């Protein structure tokens, strides 16, 4: 039987624009979705980039006018991969036009903006998705299942870090990531670490933050520009469960390319994970015999859904773009009424609130309730 169609409009053709386009192309081929997906239109400020993306990924149309695309009644879903400061305006326009919206993180420059976006989406009854793709990893799903099943005993703590080094060189130019409107290492990548912390350990109730700018000036086309956002954002965390923890977002961590890592431990066991080897979860159990204890490797495989839909053999590994396909699948099925939204604007707002609480705590040099 023919499935209904969702026409996709994508804004932005950079790093994430490509990841979204590949996710939309792969998801219907891997998953049994409620809809077929049509790559309808791609928008970019640069005509050449929009045209190249349309040709490369198979969009039927391209444009330099995202507003016209959002207003097009043929389009059902708007995917936003433009710079952070534009997320609010683009999302609100798409929601007002009745579109479902898939927006990259951080959802908005400020929690107040994110709240406006979540409220608008809920009032319009459109489905939303925020790009916290690391939560789509089957091994994070396994970690959460093991915690919920009590395999770690009583949860005591978590250390979570998202560190990369793409801003390590002071000659790296000023970009939208340095914009006070939604920029900084904590908002850019610490937000992923916060999402993982709550995914595994439940709600955070208090934070003590320390956000530091280490590269105070960066080159720009108009000359050196002062940087006001953090290069490193850290916080101590307290969870509603009584567990304690720490989080770090760091984009000057020399040598680190994708250290989205955590260690979570309880009275009976612990889990350790690194995104640099993200098809492996390591597990320590106090129940193992003395003299044989140690962290054991669990390789991702068909026992860890939805890995088996991509590959029938364990240990052959998923890649980053597969996480985007999983994210797209959850979002599309939510639009079709098959399951809840995996990570909607309300949840994106929650992460933005945590980022802001850590920034405020750092300024005030005091614990802040969330
Ligand atoms: N989920 C993740 O793992 C992840 C990873 C990287 C980036 N991101 C997020 O994705 C977003 C984009 O980041 P990126 O690395 O792809 O940036 P990028 O610079 O590679 O791409 C941004 C694109 O937006 C386009 N653009 C800018 N202004 C526009 C406008 N007014 N209309 C249409 N297009 C416009 C640019 O021309 C470019 O093609 C950011 O919000 C970032 O935080 C998420």
Atom of ligand 1 nearest to the CA of 43: 33
Q: How far apart are alpha carbons 72 and 188 in whole angstroms?
A: 31
In this predicted structure, what is the pLDDT of residue 241?
Answer: 96
Q: Which residues contact 95 (CB under 8 A, 6 or more apart)?
A: 101, 117, 120, 121, 124, 126
Closest CA to 279 of 250, 241, 243, 307: 307
Burial label, 236 (beta-carbon count in 10 A; 0-12, 13-18, 19+): middle
With b meaning 16 or more CB within 10 Å and e meaning fewer, what string describes 50-68? bbebbeebebebbbeebee
User: Above 90 in pLDDT, residue 139?
Assistant: yes
- For residue 16, the CA-to-ligand 1 centroid distance in Å is 6
Q: Which domains does the chain have, with CATH numbers?
A: 5-133 (3.40.50.720), 135-369 (3.30.360.10)
Q: Quick check: CB of 14 below 6 Å from ligand 1? A: yes
- For residue 77, the CA-to-ligand 1 centroid distance in Å is 17
In this predicted structure, what is the pLDDT of residue 80?
Answer: 98
Q: How far apart are alpha carbons 84 and 90 in whole angstroms?
A: 10
In this predicted structure, what is the pLDDT of residue 182?
Answer: 81
Q: Which residues contact 194 (CB under 8 A, 6 or more apart)?
A: 160, 204, 247, 351, 354, 355
Q: Quick check: CB of 83 below 6 Å from ligand 1? A: yes
Q: What is the pLDDT of residues 304-317, one digit of tens each?
A: 999 999 999 999 99
Strand (E) or helix (H) holding 355: helix 345-364
Atom of ligand 1 nearest to the CA of 175: 19
With b meaning 16 or more CB within 10 Å and e meaning fewer, what string describes 305-316? ebbebbbeebee
Q: Residue for token digits 């703590």?
A: 157
Q: How far apart are alpha carbons 125 and 136 in whole angstroms?
A: 24
Q: How far apart are alpha carbons 294 and 299 in whole angstroms?
A: 16
* Mean model confidence pLDDT for the chain: 98
Alpha-carbon separation of residue 319 from 13, 105, 309 (angstroms): 20, 20, 13
The answer to whether 71 and 99 are in contact (CB under 8 A) is no
- For residue 27, the CA-to-ligand 1 centroid distance in Å is 21
Atom of ligand 1 nearest to the CA of 15: 16
Q: Quick check: CB of 82 below 6 Å from ligand 1? A: yes
pTM above 0.85, yes or no: yes
Q: Quick check: CB of 191 below 6 Å from ligand 1? A: no
In this predicted structure, what is the pLDDT of residue 345?
Answer: 98
Share of the chain above pLDDT 90, in %: 98
Q: Quick check: CB of 66 below 6 Å from ligand 1? A: yes
- For residue 221, the CA-to-ligand 1 centroid distance in Å is 19
User: Above 90 in pLDDT, residue 286?
Assistant: yes
User: Above 90 in pLDDT, residue 1?
Assistant: no
In this predicted structure, what is the pLDDT of residue 231?
Answer: 98
Of all protein residues, whose CA lies closest to atom 30 belonging to ligand 1? 45
Of all protein residues, whose CA lies closest to atom 41 belonging to ligand 1? 84
Q: Which residues contact 61 (CB under 8 A, 6 or more apart)?
A: 40, 41, 42, 54
Of the pLDDT bands very low, low, confident and very high (cuts 50, 70, 90), residue 109 is: confident
In this predicted structure, what is the pLDDT of residue 91?
Answer: 98
What integer is the mean pLDDT of 265-275?
A: 98
In this predicted structure, what is the pLDDT of residue 193?
Answer: 98
| HSE (side-chain half, CA atoms, 13 Å) at 60 | 10
Closest CA to 57 of 37, 73, 72, 35: 37
In this predicted structure, what is the pLDDT of residue 260?
Answer: 98
What integer is the mean pLDDT of 54-77?
A: 98
- For residue 243, the CA-to-ligand 1 centroid distance in Å is 35
CB atoms within 10 A of CB 31: 18
Q: Quick check: CB of 13 below 6 Å from ligand 1? A: yes
- For residue 87, the CA-to-ligand 1 centroid distance in Å is 10
Q: How far apart are alpha carbons 66 and 56 in whole angstroms?
A: 19
Q: What is the pLDDT of residues 206-252, one digit of tens each?
A: 999 999 999 999 999 999 999 999 999 999 999 999 999 999 999 99
- For residue 336, the CA-to-ligand 1 centroid distance in Å is 27
Q: What is the pLDDT of residues 159-198, one digit of tens each?
A: 999 999 999 999 999 999 999 888 899 999 999 999 999 9
Share of the chain above pLDDT 70, in %: 100
In this predicted structure, what is the pLDDT of residue 86?
Answer: 96
Q: Quick check: CB of 133 below 6 Å from ligand 1? A: yes
């Amino acid at each position: 039987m023919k499935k209904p169609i969702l026409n996709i409009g994508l804004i932005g053709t950079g790093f994430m624009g490509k990841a979204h386009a590949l996710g939309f192309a792969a998801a219907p081929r891997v998953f049994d979705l409620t809809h077929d997906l049509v790559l309808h239109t791609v928008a970019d400020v640069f005509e050449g980039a929009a045209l190249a993306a349309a040709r490369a990924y198979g969009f039927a149309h391209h444009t330099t006018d995202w507003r016209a695309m959002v207003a097009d009644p043929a389009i059902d879903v708007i995917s936003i991969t433009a710079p952070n400061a534009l997320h609010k305006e683009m999302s609100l326009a798409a929601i007002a036009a009745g579109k479902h919206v898939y927006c990259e993180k951080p959802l908005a420059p400020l929690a107040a903006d994110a709240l406006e976006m979540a409220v608008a989406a809920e009032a319009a009854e459109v489905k939303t998705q925020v790009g916290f793709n690391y939560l789509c990893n089957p091994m994070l799903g396994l970690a959460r299942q093991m915690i919920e099943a009590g395999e770690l005993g009583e949860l005591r703590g978590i250390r979570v870090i998202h560190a990369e080094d793409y801003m390590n060189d002071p000659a790296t130019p000023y970009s939208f990531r340095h914009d006070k409107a939604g920029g900084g290492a904590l908002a850019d990548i610490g937000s992923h670490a916060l999402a993982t912390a709550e995914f595994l350990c439940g709600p955070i109730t208090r934070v003590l933050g320390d956000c530091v700018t280490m590269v105070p000036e960066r080159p720009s086309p108009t000359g050196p520009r002062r940087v006001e956002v953090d290069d490193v954002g850290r916080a101590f965390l307290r969870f509603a469960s009584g567990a304690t923890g720490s989080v770090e977002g760091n984009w000057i961590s020399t040598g680190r390319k994708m250290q989205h890592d955590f260690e979570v431990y309880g009275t009976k066991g612990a889990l350790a994970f690194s995104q640099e080897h993200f098809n492996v979860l390591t597990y320590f159990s106090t129940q193992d015999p003395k003299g044989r204890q140690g962290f054991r490797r669990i390789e991702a495989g068909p026992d860890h859904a939805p890995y088996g839909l991509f590959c029938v053999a364990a240990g052959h590994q998923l890649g980053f773009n597969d996480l985007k396909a999983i994210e797209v699948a959850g979002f599309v099925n939510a639009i079709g009424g098959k399951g809840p939204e995996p990570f909607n604007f309300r949840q994106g707002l929650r992460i933005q609130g945590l980022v802001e609480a850590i920034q405020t705590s750092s300024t005030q040099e005091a614990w802040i309730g969330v």
